[in-house]
Amino acid sequence: MPWQSLLETRDRLPASNLEDWYAALLERVGDDGPFALAVLGGRLAATPGLAFFAGYQGALRALWPAAPRSPGALCVTENRSTRPADMQTRMSGLHLSGRKDFVTAAEAADWLLVAARVEEQDAPRLAVGVVRSGAPGARCEALPSLPLMPDISHARLHLDNALCELLPGDGWDSYVKPFRSLEDLHVLGAVLGWLHGVGQDGAWPQELRLRLLGLLAGCAEVTRHCANEPSTHLLLAGLFAQFKALRPELDAAIAAGPQQWATLWARDCNLLEVARTAREKRLEKALAALA
């Protein structure tokens, strides 16, 4: 993580459509890695939603290091479920058919990682295929904006015998399962980067800004560990516990500053709460495994 770049940054990228904003972000970040993309993207973001987008893209690259430089998305959810047993999307050969109900930032995604069941003689298994956005048989249906992060779009993906590239490994263990922790970690880093920038602008107390940097350093350490390990889930839970303890001070500091930041934070401050239940379940399992 190029810490000097974070500490010296004093500007933000203008808010624009996601594709243009992300292209401008890549020019600034270069090839410093997924976590730097998340944190520096958060620092350069004009909104928490754009910070989330940077963290999400960083998590995708941590999951799939060979990912194209263009924006992507992971498509898993069907009927509000991510359980393999509930998935109706099927992969036959190198073709995908089915529907994914919640695709993050689909308007900007150039490629889609699609989780699908493969029916075999032994037992069904999960696989992940890469589909190019707009390819024959792949169609995105825009969904209404959400109250949380309305600047980040969502869509429903319809697949009708769409050609894909099969990724190696088991779809669940190699992709869907680790992404949950990778997304939590990189989005946390991006939000901390955004908050650090707001703190610089607002001349927050030095101690509060130093504690944000300490949390970021902890996030950087956890990126070095396997996302599926119980110890990693425990460390990640520790980072979120520290962030929760900081929230009252952060909320007070933002409320006392410029109205534009207070308004954005009031709208989007709970973006890290969306996956809280899943994190709590992973922590419970980790504690049991390490007991």
Smallest CA-to-CA distance from 99 within 161, 176, 156 is with 156
- CA-based torsion, 284, 276, 256, 8: positive or negative: positive
Q: Which residues contact 260 (CB under 8 A, 6 or more apart)?
A: none
pTM over 0.75: yes
Residues β-bridged to residue 157: 100, 140
Q: What confidence score (pLDDT) does residue 121 get?
A: 64
Instruction: Divide the 291 residues of the chain into consecutive groups of 10 and give the mean pLDDT of each group.
Output: 89 93 95 95 97 98 97 95 90 96 94 93 86 96 95 96 97 96 98 97 94 97 96 97 97 96 96 92 95 87
Confirm if 151 and 131 have CB atoms less than 8 A apart. Answer: no
* Domains defined along the chain, listed by start: 3-63+174-290 (no CATH), 72-166 (2.40.110.10)
| 121 secondary structure, DSSP code | S
| Angstrom distances, CA of residue 39 to CA of 52, 188, 205, 257, 280 | 10, 9, 21, 22, 24
